Structure 1
Amino acid sequence: MTLERRSIGSAGLRSSLLGYGAMGLSGVYGAADDHESVSLLHQAIDLGITMFDTADAYGAGHNESLLGRAFHDRRHQVTIATKTGALRDTGLGRAEHIHAAIDESLRRLQTDHIDLYYLHRVDPTTPIEETIGAMSELVHAGKVKYLGVSEVSADTLRRAHATAPISAVQQEYSLFVRDPEEDLLPTMRELGIGLVAYSPLGRGILSGAMRNIAEVENLEDRQNRYPRFEEDAFEKNVRLVEQMSQIAHALDLTPSTLALAWVLAKGDDVVPIFGTRKIHNLQANLAATEVSLDAETIDRLDHLFPIGALHGARYNEALQKRIKR
């Protein structure tokens, strides 16, 4: 199967319309079986997905190793995006860390180059120019093809791009989280940088499958990390999704398909990456690539989910401090 491709940025990087985020295969949302995960990753390739997203922080390297196991004999079929600098400690933006981290990622991924290498979070102790300068050295060394940043302000993005060409910004973007539309997306489009939209299903709530708090897998961890799952906020978020589901059903779509189609409709420079551990969800989500929403439907969804619609902060207080620098 072949999916339509989109450009990410203006430097030549391309991806399938939807990409796959592999974080959930390393215990983030409950236990996962590695054998089943490899099978799912192979199925994703067969279904036409080319972009696969990981990070050295996911499972303390486990996630990269898993993708290395799955892709070592299929490397020509996939675009691998990984990240470094998740900031469990400060100093991860320093040049020496960047140079050490890439070699570990290459080893775990069983490859000689990374297609898209992100700075996971901006290091508050290191100038962005130093970090991006070190990352650009990896491009010159042939270890990385394209550079990206994740969770940055528009001003920081300008500084990063002035240091070395940035192809992509990875940012949470969905019906629930439309903040990038305010200043980040306009800046990206001015600079010719693409958006890789993570959590396009609102960490699963927009799928419509979570109708009450008892149905949320690994609830305590989710509540600790993501306030949208605290009981009062969750109930309000679900009520919004119920209204969205009515629109989806009138169009003979699932809520997930509608939510993903909305993100795809927000620009041909936007590539959503979703995560799932279930093959039937993988197959179902790809239906969004065949949907073309009309202007009236997009407008209805925009009004139902205005900027700031999400109840509960995106992250807990400690994690919230690490974003949008």
Structure 2
Amino acid sequence: MQYRRLGKTGYDVSTISFGAWAIGGTWGQVDDAQSMAALHRALDLGINFFDTADVYGDGHSERLIAQLRHERRESFTVATKAGRRLDPHVAGGYNGPNLRAFIDRSRQNLQMDTLDLVQLHCPPSVVFSQPEVFEVLDGFVQEGMIRHYGVSVERVDEALEAIRHPNVATVQIIFNAFRLKPADAFFAAARDADVGILARVPLASGLLTGKLRADTPFQADDHRAFNRHGEAFDKGETFSGVDYATGLEAVERLRPLVPEGSTLAQFALRWILMFPEVTCAIPGARNPQQVESNAAAADLPPLNAEQMAAVQRVYDDLIRGQVHGHW
């Protein structure tokens, strides 16, 4: 496993980390025993950063990570998120009392007096330009409720606005072979501001595993079945906003680039790590085998210039028109 510094937090975190959305819910049926086995295997392999949220299974994901903290002696960093419990999810809800209540609930779920990292969870765009919201978070740091804070965003313009606030330590943004805009329009600014970048949705909701087909069934409670057009939340969260058929076509063009002995998923994760501004990719995993496959990507050799150029061509030919102007 390799490690990179997470911006101004000073944390050294594994370049392949653990995204805990899938073990909470909205990805079909989950098995807690398998989820716990996956979490334990992650620690075994040197993964030391776990990303969750209070709405993943209504706190279930956080509570599983608390169980991991209880069962293991190794120290690791936990990032959670706050804000999506708001109903309605409006900018005015991002205020001191609400955020305090959300963070206190996460502290209880995670059994942590002080949270390592709290991220605003894809709030309405206007929130990123409201200094009073970030002043509230500064107050929570001073109180000892949280050590650091960051943001999770949908769009590059939101990320750029967020890092104007000096104590924003991290930005979590969708970045993968189907979402290249952050590299073009955000990474340099993040580097200059000493902001850590967490690459979320790194496998485009499973498209970049190469295992999905046109007739792959998805359970009714899987967002890949009910949110393809943004019916429940931002369309970009599902398949990175790419039309499913187009995504499958792009995958077939990427397959020949995968080195012998590797999987497409590993190739896609290693591609992300070719960008030094990215601190880590946070793929999900629901069993130990998926964790092992993800972790192995960190130790693959660097991709060569031809491979990088070929990914760019696939993006330009098939994907750019669908996503580049939207996020």
1:122-174 Cα deviation digits (max 9, x unpaired): 24675631221111112112221221111165665555444441111001110
CA shift in 2, pair 1:239/1:162, >3 Å = closer
Amino acid across the alignment from 1:115? D
CA shift in 2, pair 1:220/1:33, >3 Å = closer
State whether structure 2 residue 115 is matched by structure 1 residue 114: yes
CA shift in 2, pair 1:74/1:286, >3 Å = same
Amino acid across the alignment from 1:288? A
Give the Cα–Cα distance (whole angstroms) in 2 for the partners of residues 156 and 56 of structure 1.
22
CA shift in 2, pair 1:306/1:270, >3 Å = farther
How many Å apart are 1:75 and its aligned residue?
A: 6.5
1:87-132 Cα deviation digits (max 9, x unpaired): 5422331111111211111111011121111011224675631221
Q: Identify the residue that residue 294 of structure 2 maps to in structure 1.
A: 285
Q: 2:38 is matched with which residue: 33, 37, 40?
A: 40
* Mapping 1:106-185, distance limit 5 Å: 106-123=107-124, 128-151=130-153, 156-157=158-159, 160-185=162-187
Amino acid across the alignment from 1:306? D
SS class of match (2:7): coil
Report if the CA contact (8 A) 1:122-1:128 is conserved. Answer: no
Q: Identify the residue that residue 80 of structure 1 maps to in structure 2.
A: 78
Amino acid across the alignment from 1:37? S
Amino acid across the alignment from 2:290? N
* Mapping 1:189-204, distance limit 5 Å: 189-204=191-206
Q: Identify the residue that residue 240 of structure 1 maps to in structure 2.
A: 250
* Mapping 1:166-315, distance limit 5 Å: 166-216=168-218, 218=220, 221-227=223-229, 233-248=243-258, 250-291=259-300, 292-306=302-316, 309=319
Report if the CA contact (8 A) 2:50-2:78 is conserved. Answer: yes
Give the Cα–Cα distance (whole angstroms) in 2 for the partners of residues 117 and 170 of structure 1.
11
Amino acid across the alignment from 1:225? N
Give the Cα–Cα distance (whole angstroms) in 2 for the partners of residues 63 and 311 of structure 1.
35
How many Å apart are 1:214 and its aligned residue?
A: 2.7
Most deviating of 262-271 and 178-187 = 178-187
Report if the CA contact (8 A) 1:18-1:274 is conserved. Answer: yes
Amino acid across the alignment from 1:45? L
The root-mean-square deviation of aligned C-alpha atoms, in Å, is 2.6
Q: Name stretches of at least 5 consecutive residues in structure 1 with no aligned partner.
A: 315-319
CA shift in 2, pair 1:220/1:285, >3 Å = closer
User: What is the aligned residue count?
Assistant: 311
Give the Cα–Cα distance (whole angstroms) in 1 for the partners of residues 104 and 24 of structure 2.
21
Report if the CA contact (8 A) 1:198-1:272 is conserved. Answer: yes
Q: Which has the higher contact order (CA 8 A, sep 6+)?
A: 2
CA shift in 2, pair 1:68/1:299, >3 Å = same
Give the Cα–Cα distance (whole angstroms) in 1 for the partners of residues 221 and 154 of structure 2.
28
1:235-267 Cα deviation digits (max 9, x unpaired): 22111101111111x544210011000000012
Report if the CA contact (8 A) 1:22-1:54 is conserved. Answer: yes
Q: Identify the residue that residue 317 of structure 1 maps to in structure 2.
A: none
Q: Name stretches of at least 5 consecutive residues in structure 2 with no aligned partner.
A: 230-237
CA shift in 2, pair 1:267/1:223, >3 Å = same
Report if the CA contact (8 A) 1:168-1:193 is conserved. Answer: yes
Give the Cα–Cα distance (whole angstroms) in 2 for the partners of residues 150 and 303 of structure 1.
28
Q: Identify the residue that residue 18 of structure 1 maps to in structure 2.
A: 16
Report if the CA contact (8 A) 2:81-2:118 is conserved. Answer: yes
CA shift in 2, pair 1:29/1:81, >3 Å = same
Give the Cα–Cα distance (whole angstroms) in 1 for the partners of residues 102 and 22 of structure 2.
22
Structure 2 length as normaliser, TM-score?
0.86
